[in-house]
Amino acid sequence: MNDQPIDGRLVSLSRAEIEDLLAAAAARGARQALKDIGLDNGEAREDIRELRSLLGALRLARRTAWQTTVRVLTTVFLAALLALAGIKLKLLG
């Protein structure tokens, strides 16, 4: 560290004062970060809740799309098997 005097005096802080200073700086930095991304107003909590809800809906839609795709492919495969079995048994022509 630099032990050079400031205005002719060394600055000396207790551990508690340093922790308070760090906590204040962290809080100020967090407020600035929220402000930088536009979440510094009173509606930020609701905005985050809505974003989480949208992400949940997107995940559900993606899962449903995969399930539907698998069901359609399974149905097509089974229908083809039945058609082939019908042809083989001369039920369909």
For the stretch 47-70, pLDDT in tens is 889 999 999 999 999 999 999 999
Number of H helices and number of E strands within the chain?
2, 0
| Residue with more model confidence, 3 or 20 | 20
65, 71, 74, 80: CA torsion to nearest 10? -100
CA distances in angstroms from 18 to 4, 12, 29, 30, 68, listed in the order given = 18, 10, 16, 18, 59
Q: What is the average pLDDT across 69-91?
A: 92
Q: Measuring CA to CA, which residue among 26, 46, 44 is closest to residue 35? A: 44
